[in-house]
Structure 1
């Protein structure tokens, strides 16, 4: 058999073995049997919230087990095709088997990464905030470029994006903006994007065409459901109403009912202006605040050093996670994983999978010590 086929099969077997360990195979099968039995009990729907939780876990586990078994079958089928091709001298069958193995190898690698998305909130929708650093219009334009990058990534992966808050810059760009990214594993994929992003380019706003360095911060936190209890006391809140100042039409409505809530003990600030109803904006802002405080607690438990409160963090050199250089050369480099690419246009158009995958891969090779 061709060396390439043997090598690919070996890598796929190794990845499948890792997947099996991540799934905790025997316990996963037992748990699926338990969930199937629970789902067949008509009394489970007496408590709808519990029933929905059981059904979500059952679907997730059933999909993971089914996918693993399907990939095992595909490996066996491809190797059988390759062996028959060898026996019959059929180069076409051998080429087809090799092609199937290459496709399967990519699928298994993706599943291996996704197997790490098993933290408490990894499967949840998420909020993503972008805040411009110091530097006026240049930094605010960079914040808009980042938000476009994330919305493009979300759209390309079938996620739904809802704009919740948008504070435009004085001349161009954004001072800040918040979106909700809706879809399976949205938080798990995007959570590693929290941090400071640095841009180096010739500024289109500088008449002398000088090179500028700009910073913007990104904060990602999960949408939490009603089963997660986060205590918020009224006395700890400062609530302000203001007129929405965003573009309107395309993203949000201009209203007099925008809401800003400050959680005084932590300094966390959230804003919402998506609706003409002050009541609904307040409800959504409270959901965002619960999510921020929950993420803050998650980070404490995981002993992550980076502080979550953007308002207490300098948006500058010391907290960078990624550098985007457009002049004098083209390079985007992640400072945590050392992954880099010269395809700056592709990255800014949403092609950030290589960076997201590298963050998850680092967890695999690090023995999952960072897993929630």
Structure 2
């Protein structure tokens, strides 16, 4: 199972673009369910108007994610009349769908944990200090570490240390994700308004079919080549 983090954003577009994000989000989640891809909404920034979304960050988990996202990543266009400004002349509205490449979720492998046995301190008399039963565990890739001296058994303290490291790594991942979302704010500034990967029209958001077979282009190339050989 692969995991990816996706962001839908209205960029610096007007309120209509935030409305489009809300509509596209529903379609996107529906396709995820249809393709048996699990998802979790990690962060959502609501727009200024009711029913609008400025940006939303989603964690996806499933098989063939790259293939699924080929038809989503990039600029998405909606052609329609503004629902907020009825007489507005603009008919084309753009939003972006991006992958957060900078965020990589850290997982724990025992081979990446450094264990150090140290003497326990505190109540318990002289026997406590004679046995190195406490465990300091450090997750080398992140530098996260814990100190456990709950039991007199070094083995039990080691097991507890691993579990506590998992909890701390989960908090670490949350912090890293927040930083990634902040750094991806450039997506809100650099939305390309050409060559959309998907085009929707009307209030029902009917998708415009696009010819991906390139059959017409191939036929044209064959015709041009034939003329050159004549």
* Bin of the TM-score, shorter chain as denominator length: 0.5 to 0.7
Give how far 1:281 is off: 5.6
Aligned-pair Cα RMSD in Å = 4.1
The separation in 1 between residues aligned to 2:70 and 2:198, in whole angstroms, is 14
Deviations 1:109-137 (A, max 9, x none): xxxxxxxxxxxxxx512211101033321
Check 1:127–1:288 CA distance in 2 against 1; reply closer, same or farther (3 A cut): farther
Measured in 2, the distance between the counterparts of 1:164 and 1:124 equals 17
- Find the counterpart in structure 2 of residue 165 from structure 1: 43
Is 1:125–2:15 an aligned residue pair? no
Separation of aligned partners in 1, 2:44 and 2:171: 13
Corresponding residue of 2:57: 178
The 1-side partners of 2:5 and 2:37 are apart by 12
Note closer, same or farther for the CA distance 1:330–1:211 as it changes in structure 2 (3 Å cut): farther
Return the offset for 1:196.
0.9
Asked whether the equivalents of residues 4 and 61 of structure 2 are also in contact (C-alpha less than 8 Å), the reply is: yes
Inter-partner Cα distance in structure 1 for 2:96 and 2:168: 28
Structure 1 residue 161 displacement after superposition: 1.7
Q: How far off is 1:182 after superposition? A: 1.9
1:226-305 residue pairs with structure 2 within 5 A? Answer: 226=107, 282-286=172-176
Hey, what's the Cα distance between the residues in 1 that align with 2:13 and 2:71? 25
C-alpha change, 1:138 and 1:162, in structure 2 (3 Å) is: same
Q: Which of 193, 196, 203 pairs up with 2:75?
A: 196
Helix, strand or coil at the partner of 2:98? strand
Residues in 1 aligned to 2:86 and 2:47: alpha-carbon distance in whole angstroms:
19
- Tell me, yes or no, if the aligned pair for 2:105 and 2:173 is still in contact at 8 Å: no
Local SS of the residue matching 1:176? strand
**Secondary structure of residue in 2 paired with 1:317:** coil
Matched, 1:156 2:34: yes
| Structure 2 residue aligned with 1:119 | none
Gaps of 5+ in 2: 113-140, 144-166, 214-230
The answer (yes or no) to whether the contact 1:191–1:221 under 8 Å persists in 2 is no
> Could you say which structure has the higher strand fraction?
2
Query: Distance in 2 between the 1:161 and 1:182 partners?
Result: 6
Tell me what 2:17 maps to. Answer: 139
CA contact (8 A) 1:187 1:221 kept: no
3-state DSSP class of the match of 1:146? helix
Distance 1:171 1:197 in 2: 21
| Partner SS, residue 86 of structure 2 | coil
Cα separation, partners in 2 of 1:171 and 1:197, compared to 1, 3 Å: same
- Specify the alignment match of 2:94 in structure 1: 215
Question: Match of 2:191?
Answer: 315
Larger radius of gyration: 2
User: Per the alignment, do residues 282 and 170 of structure 1 end up closer, same or farther by CA in structure 2, a change over 3 Å counting?
Assistant: farther
In the superposition, the TM-score normalised over structure 2's length comes to 0.52
Q: After superposition, give the CA deviation of every residue in 1:121-155 in whole Å (9 maximum; x if it has no partner).
A: xx512211101033321000111112111111111
Gaps of 5+ in 1: 1-122, 234-276, 293-307, 340-357, 359-372
Judge conservation of contact 1:125–1:182 (CA < 8 Å) in 2: yes
Higher share of residues assigned helix: 1
CA 1:153–1:315 in structure 2 vs 1: closer, same or farther (change >3 Å)? same
Q: TM-score, normalised by structure 1?
A: 0.34
